[in-house]
Amino acid sequence: MKTRRTPAFAALRRGRQNLLAAALVGVVAFTSASTHAQDPLASWNDGPAKQAIVEFVKATTTDGSPQVVPPEARIATFDQDGTLWVEHPMYSQVIYCLDRVPAVVKARPELASKEPFKTVLSGNREAIAKLSQDDLMKILAATLTGMSVDDFNAETKKWIAEAKDPRWKRPYTELTYQPMQEVLQYLRANGYKTYIVTGGGQDFVRVYAEQVYGIPPEQVVGTAGGTKFGYDKSGKPFLTKEPKLLLNDNNAGKPEGIHLMIGRRPSAAFGNSTGDKQMLEYTKAGDGARLAMLVLHDDAEREYAYGPAQGLPDTKVGTFTQALYDEAKKNDWTVISMKNDWKVIFPFESK
Amino acid sequence: MKTRRTPAFAALRRGRQNLLAAALVGVVAFTSASTHAQDPLASWNDGPAKQAIVEFVKATTTDGSPQVVPPEARIATFDQDGTLWVEHPMYSQVIYCLDRVPAVVKARPELASKEPFKTVLSGNREAIAKLSQDDLMKILAATLTGMSVDDFNAETKKWIAEAKDPRWKRPYTELTYQPMQEVLQYLRANGYKTYIVTGGGQDFVRVYAEQVYGIPPEQVVGTAGGTKFGYDKSGKPFLTKEPKLLLNDNNAGKPEGIHLMIGRRPSAAFGNSTGDKQMLEYTKAGDGARLAMLVLHDDAEREYAYGPAQGLPDTKVGTFTQALYDEAKKNDWTVISMKNDWKVIFPFESK
């Protein structure tokens, strides 16, 4: 067997190159030390939110700390829409489903004259905005199920690469929050496994989560439907997406989904709406140091302002009620003010 | 900030200690090389099964190999009962459920006079062995649901620490297969994430999988029921195990469960019965190098012999049919003969 030699090992054998080898190792150590000296939360203003994150990480990852969490148990969960990226004025997955309607109708022409598909095809934005929850469920079922998992993944991948947000005229994947990206990286650098726990579709978010957040598919928990195993004409097995709901990953469904998919209670959880309330309660109910944070969208200029907590406008997407705000204040959860806590909102602003 | 120096970095600064630093690094490199020189599959006899594992790992993890799999996509799935540990004469989880009946009846005395609980309480082994599938489902529902997740975990942990297999008079957790433990470690050492994909209860196996196999809870996929989020009298949130089946992780349920819980197709899959057939088909249907292996229990002396493939006795637990054997041979799956491929069966034999 031929031994693969590391530079340092070769140096030991050859004697005369010790200095070069040690210098190389030294350079690596130095680079690493200088990286660590940078602020991992550089886009956060100093204040209670930033302080809460840093203190939590210190308490749970410093050897000898009474609240240290073993590396294998370091779990942090993040809501996606409104917590990691923009959710206004409409969840990107709903836009995906609306965009998919023409292709679905082409494959099933009988839908063209049926509601709610007829309204979507009309292109009448006002009428589309008024579609009921039931109508939306019909559109979701028609556009997210009935195809193979592979076909769905390919369609989503194509859409996510091409679709653009009308306000910023950029792909949705660029509208992630830079300060939250830093939290993800900071937690991972300290041994945390970061999970997305989203009310959005699990299969949908899994398509891009690795590229956008560095979160692999198996660490995305979301609203999930069943699949059906079968064989194509050549005998090759494949999975079909079924219109059967297994997990509605909102509200109480979030801790239930965390138990189903992860099987451990998180040490830290991040959200921005009433749909995240139970996940934060469940996280805080564990022993030791716990971090529960809620993003408050109070920056109409740089992003959007909505609540209705703290007198912010009441909108239909991502509701942050005053009751949730009061619960946060009472239970030592930290409310993040986009306006005051974040130096920049998006990664492209800091370049 | 005080800079933490590696030995090599300090040597660079101090100049004169270069030789010592390089020597230290060299020793580390040498130790590591000699560890790698040991056979990672020491309990396997040379033969096509061992060769298939080694060649698969080489093809999928060697830089520059045309079939290399990126580290983040290296997924291997293992059935548990009969693949990683003994499943005869009864699945350990069924024994757990039977053992729990007295406690359940104590809490719900009205069950004492009702079947199948009456039969279980009688202690009549012959009658218990004859219980129907429906009876067993009633026992499973009564013993695995209706309590909090925390209570269930505590009960299971206690049982698994105390219960013993009657033949070997050892805890079930010692009846894992040493050669398969080596495969788990070998795959992990080569960057694979190892998952259990079991027909057994997901919550049950998660209690001990980390201790027994080095597999964390979030990498255990199994038959899973729903939970219900609620609050206790003090307002503390908790999850209750519900008698609602979300995933029957057997047969077609295995690839469906893999999609739900992992979201990637495995590169390697291991099983031992018809319940694993679809998981192996799904694994093999992907591109590139794939490994599909089935453990054949053909060692009546050291463990058990059952099939009915290859004329082995037909038993009710872990059925390996001749049709499955033929499919394996036809599709380049590897059948592992316990008798011929394994030098030892259990870890305690090699000590």
How would residue A37 be classed by pLDDT, with cut points 50, 70 and 90? low
SS (H, E, C) chain A: CCCCCCHHHHHHHHCCCHHHHHHHHHHHHHHHHHHHHCCCCCCECCCHHHHHHHHHHHHHHCCCCCCCCCHHHCEEEECCECCCECCCCCCHHHHHHHHHHHHHHHHCHHHCCCCCHHHHHHCCHHHHHCCCHHHHHHHHHHHHCCCEHHHHHHHHHHHHHHCEECCCCEEHHHCECHHHHHHHHHHHHCCCEEEEEEEEEHHHHHHHHHHHHCCCHHHEEEEEEEEEEEECCCCCEEEEEEEEEEECCCCCHHHHHHHHHCCCCCCEEEECCHHHHHHHHHHHCCCCCCEEEEEECECCCCCCECCEHHHCCCCCCCCECHHHHHHHHHCCCEEEEHHHHECCCCHHHHC
Question: What pLDDT score does B106 carry?
Answer: 95
pLDDT score of B58 more than 70: yes
Q: Do A263 and B193 make contact, defined as CB atoms within 8 angstroms?
A: no
What string of DSSP letters covers B114-169? Answer: STTHHHHHHT-HHHHHT--HHHHHHHHHHHHSSSBHHHHHHHHHHHHHH-EETTTT
pLDDT at A315: 86
- The interface predicted TM-score (ipTM) is 0.89
A193-198: average pLDDT: 98
Rounded mean pLDDT of B213-242?
Answer: 98
* pLDDT of A327 above 80: yes
Cross-chain Cβ contact A12/B3 below 8 Å: no
Q: Which residues of B touch A218 (CB under 8 A)?
A: 75, 193, 218, 261-264
A72:B227 CB<8 A: no
Calculate helix-pair angle for B277-284, B253-261, nearest 10 degrees: 60
pLDDT at B296: 98
Structure tokens at A34: 């200088």
pLDDT for the residue numbered B207: 98
Of A125-129, A216-220, B196-200, B286-290, give the lowest mean pLDDT range.
Answer: A125-129
The pLDDT, as a whole number, for residue B24 is: 42
- At residue A302, φ and ψ (nearest 5 deg) are -85, -25
Q: Is B89 helix (H, G, I), strand (E, B) or coil?
A: coil
Q: Report CB contact under 8 Å: A12, B18.
A: no
**Subunit contact B237:A149, Cβ cutoff 8 A:** no
* Nearest-CA distance A247 → chain B (Å): 9
Can you give the pLDDT at residue A170?
Answer: 98
Nearest to A236 among B26, B206, B285 (CB): B285
- Is a pLDDT exceeding 60 seen at residue A15? no
pLDDT confidence tier of residue B315, bands split at 50, 70 and 90: confident
Instruction: Tell me if A229 and B256 make a contact (CB, 8 A cut-off).
Output: yes
The average pLDDT across B160-185 equals 97
Q: Which residues pair with B239 in a beta bridge?
A: B229
Of A8, A23, A282, the CB nearest to B237: A282
Please, what is the average pLDDT of chain B?
A: 91
Maximum CA extent, chain B: 85
**Closest CA of chain A from B96, distance in Å:** 20
pLDDT tens sequence across B13-45: 443 344 344 344 444 444 444 444 689 999 999
Nearest residue of A to residue B201 by CA position? A260
Q: Where residue A31 falls among pLDDT bands split at 50, 70, 90?
A: very low
Mean pLDDT of chain A: 91
* Residue-wise pLDDT tens digits, A305-326: 999 999 999 987 889 999 999 9
The model's confidence at residue A22, banded by pLDDT at 50, 70 and 90, is very low
pLDDT value at position B350?
72
To the nearest whole Å, the CA of A90 is away from the closest chain B CA by 26
- pLDDT 10s digits, A75-129: 999 999 999 999 999 999 999 999 999 999 999 999 999 999 999 999 998 999 8
DSSP tag of B192: P
% of chain B residues with pLDDT over 90: 86
Q: Report the pLDDT value the prediction gives residue A350, as an integer from 0 to 100.
A: 72
* Residue in A156, A229, A232 to test binding to B, most B beta-carbons within 10 Å: A229
Q: Residue B10: is its pLDDT beyond 60? A: no
Q: How many CB pairs under 8 A join A and B?
A: 146
Does position B128 have pLDDT exceeding 70, yes or no? yes
Instruction: Using pLDDT thresholds of 50, 70 and 90, give the confidence band for residue B149.
Output: very high
Contact B22 A23 (CB under 8 A): no
Q: CB–CB of A237 and B278 under 8 A?
A: yes
Tell me the average pLDDT across B125-145: 92
Angle at A232 between CA A227 and CA A237, to 5 degrees: 55
What was the pLDDT predicted at B37? 63
Q: Is B7 helix (H, G, I), strand (E, B) or coil?
A: helix
Q: A8 vs B26: CB contact, 8 Å cut-off?
A: yes
> Closest-CA residue in chain B for A75?
B218
For chain A, state the CA radius of gyration.
24
- Summarize the confidence of residues B76-100 as an average pLDDT: 96
Q: Within 10 A of A107 (CB to CB), how many other CB atoms are there?
A: 11
pTM metric for this prediction: 0.89
Q: What does the DSSP assignment read for B11-63?
A: HHHHSTTHHHHHHHHHHHHHHHHHHHHS-TTTTBPSSHHHHHHHHHHHHHHST
Determine whether the interchain pair B261/A261 forms a contact, defined as Cβ–Cβ distance below 8 Å.
yes
pLDDT band at B316 (very low <50, low <70, confident <90, very high): confident
Measure B246 CA to nearest chain A CA, in Å. 6
